[in-house]
Copies of this chain bind each other. A is one copy, B any other.
Amino acid sequence: MNAPGTPARHQMPFTRLEIAVLGLVGDELNVLLARRAAAPHAGRWALPGGALRIDLDTSLDDAARRVMRERLGLDLPFLRQLCAAGGPTRDPRAPWALSVVYRAVVSADRIAPAAGKRIEALAWRPVADAMTGSGLAFDHGELIARAVTATRLDIERLDMPEGILPDSFTLGELQTLCERLLGRRLDKSSFRRKLADRRLVEPVAGALRTGANRPAQIYRRVCDTP
């Protein structure tokens, strides 16, 4: 096994990481897109991403986090690998391009993604538009659709991504958050029953959210591994 299959005998693909950051803008699920400053696809919108740096990165997860930090000015622990895509025609800059795609969910209003290195502009765009792929660079429309599907599947199972939940919240707030992420209404009693059965949240003793109406009990995430 020292003939082929050995490093450096074959040319390797241009390897990048792309990050699909989802977040709520108002009621709607949006995705964070970067306007490409240079060719290819100059002026078009694409997922923010960057090249793998084998001198810096100790794993793919680590690389994705670095790219997110550099490009978006965000250092969030919640990144999940979505898929990998590759081919000779994906990126005209290289004879063969491979992208490992990650996804994340953040509270869009709590972060200010400063446009990082080499990004002309950053903008939230509704996933309903972006998923059609209209005007997006590369195959990023398809990738966004996959990220949304996978994320909504997580939410359906009440597997809430970190980075989206506040420290404390009322059950009503949690429900409307999920509803906006899913894009559909949920049943109040079922939602609460599931939360209680699976012990996903616990009430903060004596803490109430007061406002215009009846005060609501404040909850927080229950720590799984004490």
Contact = CB atoms under 8 A, between A and B. Distances in A.
A77 interface: no
A7 interface: yes
Contacts of A37: 1
A50 interface: yes
A140 B96 CA distance: 26
Which residue among A3, A9, A10 has the maximum number of chain B CB atoms within 10 Å of its CB? A10
Nearest to A42: B1
B5 A54 contact: no
Interface in A35-94: 36-39, 50-55, 57-60, 63, 81, 83-88, 93-94
Contacts of A54: 10-13, 88, 95-96
A206 interface: no
A14 interface: yes
Contacts of A8: 14, 94
Nearest to A71: B5
Contacts of A53: 10
Given A10-B51, A94-B7, A95-B54, A118 B86 contact: no
B118 A5 contact: yes
A118 B59 contact: no
A95 B56 CA distance: 12
Which residue among A5, A16, A54, A85 has the maximum number of chain B CB atoms within 10 Å of its CB? A54
A24 interface: no
Contacts of A181: none
B58 A87 contact: yes
A84 B16 CA distance: 13
Given A59-B87, A60-B85, A118 B12 contact: no
